[in-house]
Amino acid sequence: MNSITPAKVPNKPSLPAAVPYRVVRPELELESIERELAKTHLPECVGGKSIVMASDVTKSYRRSKTVVPVLKGVDFNAERGKITAIVGQSGSGKSTLLHLLGTLDRPDSGEIHFDGERTDNLPARKRDAFRNKKLGMIFQFYHLLPELTLLENVIAPAMIGQSIVSYFRNRSSIIQRAKSLTEMVGLSHRLHHKPCELSGGEMQRTAIARALITDPKLLLADEPTGNLDQESGQSILQLMRDLNRDTGLTIVMVTHDENIAQQCDALVRLKGGKVERIK
């Protein structure tokens, strides 16, 4: 299970081995990633239809001595500018797949490409930088930092991605962007409130604003409406759809709500560790 199976993507030239770790500053690393990427891009991927794709991905969890396979060779791709929903029963591996796409975890075998770049075998530091710059993530339980105010939560990814010096240099533009984002999600009047003073819907809106602060290409949503009532869930969904329509943001959403899933552009179902494409 440990050996990485060779790439199965057709016409894909073999990527160079991971760039050796050199620089500490994530923003520099990202540039180097982009440079490498420019040399080795996959024509049908970069600027092509799919922004993120998983090929023959397996993942299993080890629980004491027994190995529980979750994903048994999953092929998945999300098309640029579309909303893709992943549905499936509890424990079917929806969240696991999402985490793999978001480089929070590594597959046991198989490959994951983002915008033509292989992400599953990047060193930890590059994956961190990649997550910070290229991805936005929202969760069922919002996962805001309770010690920070709404505004601070929104600008947290920008702070993480920059050194202190560059943060202070760009501070005003970052705060400007954070304010416009919070205005977009309709929370500009609560900038200095702590998360515990917000409702569930407001927290999820904040999480969306936070996910968008670094202007990512892809938004990964893990049951974004799972913890909300019908009305707030619907408004969150509407917000995401507006974002998709207005800015062309690609969204991959895990949900167990068939109703929501049917409203998406594409729909896949995880079952028995395999993906079946529904729409």
Determine which residue in the list 157, 195, 201, 233 makes contact with other proteins, applying CB under 8 A.
Answer: 157
Q: Is 204 in the site for other proteins (CB under 8 A)?
A: no
Return d(Cα 95, Cα 222) in angstroms, integer: 7
Question: 226 exposed, middle or buried (CB, 10 Å; 0-12, 13-18, 19+)?
Answer: middle
Instruction: Give me the least distance between CB of 152 and other proteins, in Å please.
Output: 7
Q: Which is nearer to other proteins, 26 or 110 (CB)?
A: 26
Classify residue 245 as left (phi > 0), alpha (psi -120 to 50) or beta.
alpha
User: By CB under 8 A, what part of segment 163-182 binds other proteins?
Assistant: 163-164, 167-168
Which of these, 16, 260, 223, lies nearest to 99 by C-alpha position? Answer: 223
Determine which residue in the list 60, 84, 92, 132 makes contact with other proteins, applying CB under 8 A.
Answer: 132
Determine which residue in the list 36, 128, 257, 265 makes contact with other proteins, applying CB under 8 A.
Answer: 128
User: By CB under 8 A, what part of segment 207-226 binds other proteins?
Assistant: 210
Q: Is 162 in the site for other proteins (CB under 8 A)?
A: yes
Q: Which is nearer to other proteins, 173 or 230 (CB)?
A: 173
Q: Is 144 in the site for other proteins (CB under 8 A)?
A: yes
Three-state SS letters, 200-225: HHHHHHHHHHHHHCCCCCEEEEECCC
* Piece of the chain touching other proteins by CB under 8 A; list 14-22, 128-136, 259-267, 269-277: 128-136
Element (H, E) at 111: strand 109-114
Determine which residue in the list 105, 188, 235, 256 makes contact with other proteins, applying CB under 8 A.
Answer: 105
Q: Is 27 in the site for other proteins (CB under 8 A)?
A: no
Element (H, E) at 151: helix 150-160
Question: How far separated are the first and last CA of the chain, in Å rounded?
Answer: 31
Residue 137: strand, helix, or coil: strand
Which residues here bind other proteins, judged by CB under 8 A?
26, 99, 102, 104-105, 124-125, 128-133, 135, 137, 139, 143-148, 152, 156-157, 159-164, 167-168, 210
